A and B are shown apart, each in its own frame.
Chain A
Amino acid sequence: MSILATKDTHVVIQGGAAGVNAARRMAEFRYMNKQPLNVSAFVYPPDAGKTNEVICGTDTVAIPVYKTVAEATANHPEINTSLVYIGADRAYKGTMEALDDSKIQTVSMITEGVPEKDSKLLGKHARKLGKIFNGPSSIGVISAGECRLGVIGGAFDNLVACKLYRPGSFGVITKSGGLSNEIIWICSQFADGITTAIGIGGDAYPGTDYVSYLEMFEKDPQTKAVVIVGEMGGDLEERAAEWFGAKKRRIKLLAVVSGFCQESLPKGMKFGHAGAKEGLKGEGSARAKSEALKKSGAMVPDTFGALGPAIKATYEELVKSGEVKPIPDLSPAEVPALPKTVEQSMKAGEVLVAPLIKSTISDDRGDEPLYDGYPASELINNGYDIPHIIGLLWDKRLISKHEAEVIKRILILSADHGPCVSGALTTIIAACAGIGLSQAVAAGLIMIGPRFGGAVTDAGNYFKYAIDNKMSVDEFLGYMKKNVGPVPGIGHRVKSLRNPDKRVQELVKYVKSLGIPTPHLDFALEVEKVTAAKKDNLILNVDGTMAAVLVDLGFPVDSLNGFFILARTIGLIGHWADQKRQGSRLIRLFNYLVNYAAPKRREVPPLK
């Protein structure tokens, strides 16, 4: 047996992420008890119509989210309890909605910082309807072996350590959330554990008080004693004392009150709980409360530390009188355990997982990315630049200053080539059609291939083949003519010997000035001499030059197109942004630019 939260409690949680987290904690508790989840629904208007996923052991349960409490209770008629996880500015309205629902008997609110007037009105409304409004600022309610409302009880290990999988003999009522857990722990270590523990919240005027629950505990035969953890301010402890002293009670009462330090602290000081404020002229002080409780016949240890031994003494008395029979502890094997996640199992060395992919260039698991082992920030601080990062991520090596300068120049020279080329034109058409940046740029990049910008890798490949096989220019051209066709990297649509490509000239001039060995570039220039002599425009083009230079620098042939793709992406982004800025409208090709060579209009024959 227990009070307030029982086997028959079915819950709707009002609120967003914090509510979902509470549901997950509640699911852990139910899993420990081998019971199904008792959260039936969520109410959270922004997510209405969706579901929240809650892990129950090894299963994931989808719990529906509704717009109103009425919809939730209509669809889940078993609901009788609401947990409020709504912000302080909307908590009043949400709680009223729950209280006014005929199916709901208990509302518990965790929200802190609720205006005092709101919580008083909610308390009054609940009393009028004969319902329970627990909170605000309540950590929740937990009944061992039966039901958990909210996150009270803490992590799974703590639930087990506190033997919350089966009832004991002690009821607990506290204002403080952290201390409720502490008392649950003490009861499980010094006695046989708890029946129900309730956080009433630390506000000045909580919706329910100690007396509300003392009366329920008095009627619960499983509960033999109740522990109250009070604090200075208000008169709830005095009212509890009054109730306890009024007549002979079946339950025993133990209590501690905090706030004695107030006697030696600055007057008017604010403590963590809103309700913990200075009592006027001794009234509401920790001392006055302790005295009142002692007088009523409750056991009141003078410090919190003495509470454990007092609980122990009470428990031993109960065992001696035969009211309580000691419960044997579960053996470790019987103690339920949460299923481990893959990470936990791996960490414990219990499973081996075959990796799905392998990465050798970067690692993001620390506080900053490592590029081939080097922290990004330290590369920056040591003066490294974009070309060095390309070297690390594309070829796994730190390139020299000169190499970096060559790469920088290649990127600058290839960044854009005006709006008319295939890539830019495609991006512009996409931009004019209202397509977003990444898609429009991707459309332009798709144009890069054998006829546009994509000849770098091929050119590098064949120049390298020639050098590796020590071919002469003639042998090479013969090989190409026989096996491949036109030489990639040679030839240009508009440029020629008489109208040279300045980009090529600049790049060649710079690379030559470095005095490094450039066998591939030298070979390519020799090839050009022969081909250009045959036809004016069969010159070494920018693709071919880049390819020869990059192979000379030692970059793998497969990465070469990447330099053009990277460089041209700069231009494509520019073209997209340019069209966007101008507010360009949809364009279509003019009819007169099309040679309509399709058949003339003709009769459609009958379908056979």
Chain B
Amino acid sequence: MAKVLEGPGMGLLRKWGLHTPNYLVVSSSEEFDRLAQANDWLQQSKLVAKAHEALGSRFKLGLVKVSLDLAGAKAAVREMLGKKVESITIGQVIVSEMIDHTDEYYASAKSTRDGVEIMVANCGGIEVEENWDKVKRILVDIGEAPTDAALSSLVKEAGFSGDTATKMAEFLKKLFACFDNEDAQYLEVNPVVKNAAGDLVALDAVTLLDGDAKFRHKDWDFHFAAEFGRAYTKNEEDVMSVDSKVKGSVKLIEIPGGTIAMLPAGGGASVYYSDAVVARGGKLANYAEYSGDPPDWAVEVLTEKVCSLPNIKHIIVGGAIANFTDVKKTFGGIINAFRNAKTEGKLDGVKIWVRRGGPNEKEGLAAMRALKDEGFDIEVFDRRTPLTDIVDMALATN
């Protein structure tokens, strides 16, 4: 799942014929001033300015300002840009037209195992979150499209009538077209509002796309946003950039404040290792994973980042018995990074724990064991030691 910020999300809705308010995404005051002259609506409408970053609770943080005139919007843009909130520096502001409305509705589409679930409610905003039972839904089988009849009975069931019912059915049809054609996994419009002309307008959009489908969407010119309410760190971005270049994969997420650094192999095993740390009362300093026989230099980059995590006490180089990841080769990358980290003093007071099996395991484990002679504080185990026992041992030394 790849989260898309409001601006590009709105752009996708527009592409498939849904009305959205006029909006602009700007990254400097000068840019906004320039665009203000070229866009009449900025002078004629009331405006909303919001920080355009992957941040939760923007309203509470004062990063959403409403009912602004152009001067007010300019001030808001100036104020928000460059502001630091947690780990994020606000680099973009989205300024949109305020739509006067009375009624708010809710519409969304969500990927399920069997197809796509379309959901609608005749209330919106916070009201729908508090009255989730008002949301009515239909399932569209994968490969199919919803029939007009099905949509029309869905909106009736949700309590729409007359012209609004027709328009909402039409809205859902377009929402589905957008969902289906853009390889979306989740699209939520809350609220949908009726403007003065009686048209339905999507005021806010949550857009999650299938990042794996990027190859067939040449017009996805936007970046995906981090999904956990903060921006990616430099280290995480470095590892992502390596990941996108190599066969196999390397992954890293930093968790501030932890003392147990993770450097396990395998998408499956890595989670069991994290579980074991948490179950034994340890604090994770990161999540990491390498798999699919990545090149040694990619594992070396990942290791370098893991060794740079602050205040770590243990590094868990765990892994199951690999099918085709070469243990000797990938360990070669890890060992190179370990040696550099040691020279730089990053491994002072850090204990390394290794458990692994797979192709060339003997050579790989022997190379790790040999680090002991170079003065590393390292314990190495082979396949005969159960998977997560090294975590138990590491945490028992605390």
Contact = CB atoms under 8 A, between A and B. Distances in A.
Interface of A: 21, 25, 88-89, 112-117, 120-121, 123-124, 139, 151-155, 158, 161, 174-182, 185-186, 202, 204-205, 229, 231-232, 234-235, 256, 258-261, 263-274, 276-277, 286, 302-305, 308
A174 B266 CA distance: 13
Contacts of A179: 266, 268-269, 272, 320
A272 B270 contact: yes
Given A179-B266, A179-B320, A305-B392, A263 B278 contact: yes
B319 A178 contact: yes
A263 B275 CA distance: 10
A256 B322 CA distance: 19
Interface in B233-291: 249, 251, 253, 255, 265-272, 274-279, 284, 287, 289, 291
Given A271-B270, A271-B289, A272-B249, 10 more contacts: A117-B180, A120-B142, A121-B143, A154-B322, A158-B359, A181-B323, A202-B267, A258-B268, A264-B284, A272-B251
Contact of B210 (A115, A123, A302): A115
A325 B57 CA distance: 62
B267 A88 contact: no
11 contacts: A25-B324, A116-B185, A120-B111, A178-B322, A179-B266, A181-B320, A229-B268, A260-B278, A265-B255, A270-B253, A272-B270
A177 B229 contact: no
A581 B268 CA distance: 59
A204 B1 CA distance: 10
A117 B230 CA distance: 28
Nearest to B276: A303
A303 B275 contact: yes
Contacts of B367: none
B266 to A, nearest CB: 3
Interface stretch (B45-53, B100-108, B342-350, B383-391): B383-391
B266 A176 contact: yes
Contacts of B383: 161, 185
A266 B183 CA distance: 26
Contacts of A186: 386
B283 to A, nearest CB: 8
Contact of B321 (A185, A273, A303): A185
A455 B161 CA distance: 106
A121 B142 contact: yes
A182 B212 contact: no
**Which of B141, B320, B358 counts the most A-chain CB atoms under 10 A from its CB?**
B320
B212 A234 contact: no
Nearest to B326: A155
Nearest to A182: B320
Nearest to A206: B113
Contacts of B323: 139, 151-154, 177-178, 180-181
Contacts of B321: 154, 158, 178, 181-182, 185
Given A89-B216, A308-B386, A261 B278 contact: yes
B389 A305 contact: yes
A158 B320 CA distance: 12
Contact of A178 (B1, B284, B320): B320
Contacts of B183: 115-117
Interface in B308-335: 319-325
Given A120-B142, A151-B323, A261 B229 contact: no
A229 B387 CA distance: 13
Nearest to B267: A272
A258 B212 contact: no
A492 B388 CA distance: 85
A308 B358 CA distance: 19
B324 A276 contact: no
Contacts of B269: 176, 178-179, 182
Given A89-B216, A112-B292, A175-B268, A267 B320 contact: no
B213 interface: yes
B84 to A, nearest CB: 19
**Which of A25, A114, A181 counts the most B-chain CB atoms under 10 A from its CB?**
A181
A89 B249 contact: no
B267 A117 contact: no
A286 B265 CA distance: 20
Contact of B386 (A151, A271, A302, A305): A305
Nearest to B253: A269
Contact of A124 (B143, B284, B389): B143
Nearest to B144: A124
A204 B211 CA distance: 13
Contacts of B319: 178
Contacts of B111: 116-117, 120, 204-205
A261 B274 CA distance: 6
B388 A202 contact: no
Nearest to A139: B323
A135 to B, nearest CB: 14
Contacts of A112: 249, 292
Contacts of B287: 265, 269, 271
A155 B357 CA distance: 10
Given A113-B212, A174-B268, A304 B249 contact: no
A264 B277 CA distance: 11
